[in-house]
A and B are shown apart, each in its own frame.
Chain A
Amino acid sequence: MAKHDERRGELRVLEREHRTNNEKVESEKTLPVYDATVLVGLRTTVFDAAIERVEDDGEVTIELPKLQELLAAAAVARCLMPIKLRGAEIKTMRRLMKMTHAELAERLDPKTAAETVSRWESEAQPMGGYAEKVFRLVVCEQLKNDAPGVNYNASMIAHLAVLDPWKADESFQVPPVGLWLCRLKEQCSGNIIDAWNEKKAA
């Protein structure tokens, strides 16, 4: 009986061991510039923050600190860019807000159909100028708390003169949002926080 218990004890230890990985990092560095477009889903460049690790077997991994805040900051910064939103960007932002097509349609206007949102995302139907402004406003209001480093207020959306560069040039590419991690002092609490801040082109 005692032996049986001992064996059970051993098994428990093994069970504990098998589910815990140990980090095997060979080298680690912060990349000065990193194209985070794939991970974010919006054209984004991250400065002095992406951590590249090389493990002892040569496997390379990328870690973006404060990932959720990065996604929110990229979305808010893109909404403040006066360039028409593409379908894929609308889709990324909707998912970031954790909304279904129907929920977003309802939030924009009760008369908007879920199918219309789906058509905007697949670019089967262009999003109208008014709807796009309301959409940008919804995104910024929903995500602004996770993006305290991006300078935003609702009037910035109201005054946005949105351009459609694809009318003149079909191959036009949206310039990437540049973000870097900085330390901010929160206005209300006075706490020092790390936040993604927009890096404006010089």
Chain B
Amino acid sequence: MVGAAQPHYVTETQILRRVANDPNCGWRFTKHAEQEMGNDGWTADDVKHAVMNGRVILEEHKRDVLWRVVGRDFDGNQIQVVVAVYEGSIKIKVVTAF
């Protein structure tokens, strides 16, 4: 069975990985993200790992352009992270993780 075509955010994933893997990348966490991470027992390192190796599956245009990233932590558990990427200043804002 052929399902509906899914967009492949190849370019977005490349940009995300380039910024996330930059050693000078600044990571910001919203209060909401911090709360969600605390509830699920994820640390900044888990979220970073998921983003650095994950792929963009959805783009949302809100106040920022947000990318939903699906990735995995070190133990292979799936994490979805919503991020805003600031390519110019090499920053990633983690909006939420679930």
Contacts and interface: CB of A to CB of B under 8 A. Distances in A.
A58 to B, nearest CB: 11
B85 A41 contact: no
Main secondary structure of the interface of A (DSSP, over half): mixed
Contacts of A94: 74
Interface string B57-98: 001010111000000011100000000111111010100000
B86 A21 contact: yes
Interface in B12-66: 12, 15, 26-31, 34, 37-38, 41, 43-46, 48-49, 59, 61, 63-65
Given A67-B48, A98-B74, A23 B86 contact: yes
Given A19-B15, A21-B64, A21-B84, A96 B45 contact: yes
Interface string A1-45: 000000000000001001111111000000000000011110000
A188 to B, nearest CB: 20
Interface size class of B (residues with CB under 8 A): 35 or more
B11 interface: yes
28 contacts: A19-B12, A19-B15, A19-B65, A20-B86, A20-B88, A21-B84, A21-B85, A21-B87, A22-B88, A23-B86, A23-B91, A38-B37, A39-B29, A39-B34, A40-B44, A53-B28, A61-B28, A62-B28, A62-B29, A62-B31, A63-B26, A63-B27, A63-B29, A71-B43, A95-B45, A95-B49, A95-B75, A96-B45
